[in-house]
């Protein structure tokens, strides 16, 4: 089965080069089917040492073969670029093959890294279990753990606790397994559901679609590729007999020309050629490599009167090249690969069926979890909003308290003046009688009044700290109680916590500032009364 990505590229030993490339490509596909066989032999969630070891061995062989394939493709790319130029379509096909092979190699290496990491983690876990078992063994004597694990003492309590823990753990594992099953089979179920819709639209029965799909899947071993090729070929509108013939011809073209003619790509190109009436895609390569003139074939397509006639032209051309027989021969000669691919797909179908059955339950579980998470987020936002607004509320309350206190002081200013005025008048009368001063205004203004004002001012200043302290003790510290939005745990029937938060706001009065704000009025009152008494 020679691999022919393009026309001859003129390298030494080109026939041997192409044969080796074909063999390497077949090895890679064989190792891929071997990996599927290994995976299907174990449970989907199994991460045992045996499974990981077998997977690692197959991946190693895959990587070695893929590296050799990439080396050969790069050799072909270099030769094509030298002969035809880097921008030529023949060279670009080689470049695409190199890029695809590189991407596949990277995926294989990443998968091997993950597998080896899982093996290391499993080994560490086994070491930990061994250490724990050893520790328990050292305590199992009559004076150690063995003496405690009586059926009626601590042993009974522990056994009940372990039983409950085992039940909870089991429930978690079952739920996790169902979720994993639904997620892992969703892609397969989606692909097959899409194929079912497209096949019904094309007028094929479920049995006819299964026949075509299984034929392609037995060769490809890839669900998406087989389903895509089936849908493209069914879109042509052939009878089931013709459809199976063109399916085998597509397999034959792939087996003859290798990865440069992927089956799904060729199926799409054949469909477009028949529908549009002109040669397109990889079908043009099939004609070119068989020595068929593309322009002449296009003329035949244009002279055809219907889609059916164009389909017959394509079928006849593929048969003339022997591609239908080549596809059938490949299937007969590679029954080990065919049977393994079919068995793997059968298992995937069974898992997908089970995944579809439990999907509604998993959806309900996820919906319930989402509702709980939204409730938790909403509750948290209410709490955050409450405490975010609290500083502004406290500031407003404090402002109102201070403003009210100052308004009260201002309201008593007249009373303070009257008291000071009476006090000064009494002093002036006493001075007249005692000192015999008949015109004391100047004396009071220049001497006594000034000193009295200063003395009263000093006294006021000294005593205001004490006044402020007494005012602080007399004024009750305001308390603010506010309900807090409900949170998980400890929620009362009203949706608040069982109790309220009490916030104490300390009030500070600066006696000196109060003195500075009022002493001016007091001094003025003293001077006015002193002048009045002098007159």
Give the pLDDT score at 303.
92
pLDDT of residue 31: 83
The residue from 108, 125, 142 where one domain ends is 125
pLDDT in tens, 83-140: 888 888 878 888 888 898 898 889 889 888 887 887 776 665 555 544 544 444 444 4
Taking 50 as the pLDDT cut, the residues of the chain under it are: 1-3, 129-130, 132-152, 154-155, 157-160, 162, 444, 475, 477, 479-482, 484-509, 511-512, 514-515, 535
Distances, alpha carbon 520 to alpha carbons 443, 460, 527, in Å: 21, 12, 11
86 part of a folded domain: yes
- Within 10 Å of residue 527's Cβ, how many Cβ atoms? 17
- Domain presence at residue 220: no
Q: Are 522 and 416 in contact (CB under 8 A)?
A: yes
Locate all alpha helices (DSSP H) within 235-334, ordered by sequence: 240-257, 263-276, 281-289, 294-303, 307-320, 323-333
Q: Do 251 and 263 form a contact (C-beta atoms < 8 A)?
A: yes
- What values do phi and psi take at 403, rounded to 5? -65, -40
> Which residue, 94, 125, 156, sits at the end of a domain?
125
In the chain, helix, strand, coil percent, each to 5?
80, 0, 15
Q: 474 in a domain, yes or no? A: yes
Whole-angstrom distance, CA of residue 295 vs CA of residue 163: 78
Range of the domain at 104: 14-125
| DSSP class of 436 | -
Range list of H helices, 412-510: 413-435, 440-443, 449-474
Amino acid 443: pLDDT: 54
The Cα-based distances of 360 to 182, 349, 357 in angstroms read 10, 18, 7
Q: Which one, of 227, 222, 214, lies nearest residue 342 by Cα? A: 214
Identify the CA nearest to 476 among candidates 504, 500, 501, 513.
504
Q: Are 515 and 464 in contact (CB under 8 A)?
A: yes
Question: Does any domain span residue 89?
Answer: yes
The residue among 125, 160, 192 that closes a domain is: 125
| Nearest of 242, 330, 259 to residue 72 by alpha carbon | 259
Residue 418 domain flag = yes
Phi first, then psi, for residue 501 (nearest 5°) are -85, 130
pLDDT value of residue 533? 55
In a domain, 149, yes or no: no
CA 420 → CA 84, 131, 212, 524, 526, distances in Å?
Answer: 116, 92, 114, 10, 7
| Whole-number pLDDT of residue 359 | 86
CA neighbor of 126 nearest in space, from 52, 44, 40: 52
Q: What is the pLDDT of residue 508?
A: 45
User: How far is 176 from 440, CA to CA, in rounded Å?
Assistant: 103
Residue among 243, 213, 228, 252 nearest 308 (CA): 243
Give the number of domains in the chain: 2
What DSSP character marks residue 206? H
In a domain, 91, yes or no: yes
Q: Please check whether residue 150 lies inside any domain of the structure.
A: no
* Angstrom distance (rounded) from CA 3 to CA 246: 21
């Amino acid at each position: 089965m020679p691999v022919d990505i393009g026309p001859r590229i003129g390298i030494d030993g080109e026939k041997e080069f192409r044969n080796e490339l074909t063999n390497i490509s077949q090895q890679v596909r064989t190792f891929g089917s071997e990996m599927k066989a290994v995976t299907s032999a174990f449970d989907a969630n199994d991460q045992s040492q045996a499974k990981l070891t077998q997977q690692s061995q197959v991946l190693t062989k895959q990587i070695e073969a893929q590296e050799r394939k990439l080396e050969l493709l790069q050799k072909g790319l270099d030769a094509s670029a030298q002969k035809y130029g880097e921008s030529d379509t023949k060279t670009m096909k080689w470049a695409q093959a190199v890029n695809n092979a590189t991407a596949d190699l990277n995926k294989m290496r990443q998968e091997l890294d993950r597998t080896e990491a899982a093996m290391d983690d499993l080994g560490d876990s086994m070491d930990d279990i061994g250490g724990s078992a050893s520790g328990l063994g050292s305590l199992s004597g009559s004076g150690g753990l063995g003496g405690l694990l009586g059926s009626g003492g601590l042993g009974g309590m522990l056994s009940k606790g372990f039983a409950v823990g085992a039940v909870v753990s089991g429930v978690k594992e079952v739920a996790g397994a169902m979720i994993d099953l639904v997620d892992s089979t969703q892609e397969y179920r989606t692909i097959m559901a899409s194929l079912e819709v497209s096949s019904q639209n094309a007028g094929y029965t479920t049995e006819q679609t299964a026949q075509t799909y299984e034929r392609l899947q037995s060769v490809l071993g890839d669900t998406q590729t087989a389903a895509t090729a089936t849908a493209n070929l069914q879109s042509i509108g052939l009878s089931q007999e013709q459809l199976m013939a063109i399916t085998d011809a597509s397999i034959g073209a792939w087996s003859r020309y290798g990865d440069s003619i992927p089956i799904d790509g060729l199926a799409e190109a054949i469909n477009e050629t028949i529908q549009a009436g002109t040669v397109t895609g990889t079908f043009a390569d099939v004609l070119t490599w068989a020595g068929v003139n593309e322009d002449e074939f296009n003329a035949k397509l244009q002279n055809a009167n219907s889609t059916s006639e164009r389909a017959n032209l394509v079928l006849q051309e593929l048969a003339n090249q022997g591609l239908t027989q080549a596809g059938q021969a490949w299937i007969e000669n590679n029954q080990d690969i065919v049977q393994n691919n079919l068995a793997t797909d059968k298992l995937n179908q069974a898992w997908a069926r089970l995944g579809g059955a439990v999907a509604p339950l998993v959806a309900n579980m996820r919906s319930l979890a989402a509702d709980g998470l939204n409730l938790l987020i909403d509750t948290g936002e209410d709490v955050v909003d409450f405490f975010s607004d609290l500083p502004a509320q406290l500031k407003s309350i404090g402002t109102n308290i201070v403003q009210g206190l100052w308004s009260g002081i201002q309201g008593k200013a007249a009373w303070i003046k009257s008291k000071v005025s009476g006090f000064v008048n009494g002093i002036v009368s006493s001075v007249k009688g005692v000192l015999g001063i008949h015109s004391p205004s100047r004396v009071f203004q220049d001497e006594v009044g000034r000193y009295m004002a200063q003395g009263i001012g000093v006294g006021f200043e000294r005593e205001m700290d004490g006044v402020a302290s007494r005012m602080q003790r007399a004024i009750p510290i305001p308390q603010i109680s506010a309900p807090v939005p409900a949170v998980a745990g400890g929620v009362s029937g009203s949706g608040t916590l069982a109790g309220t938060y009490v916030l104490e706001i300390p009030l500070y009065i600066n006696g000196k500032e109060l003195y500075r704000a009022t002493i001016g009025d007091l001094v003025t009152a003293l001077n006015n009364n002193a002048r009045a008494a002098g007159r």
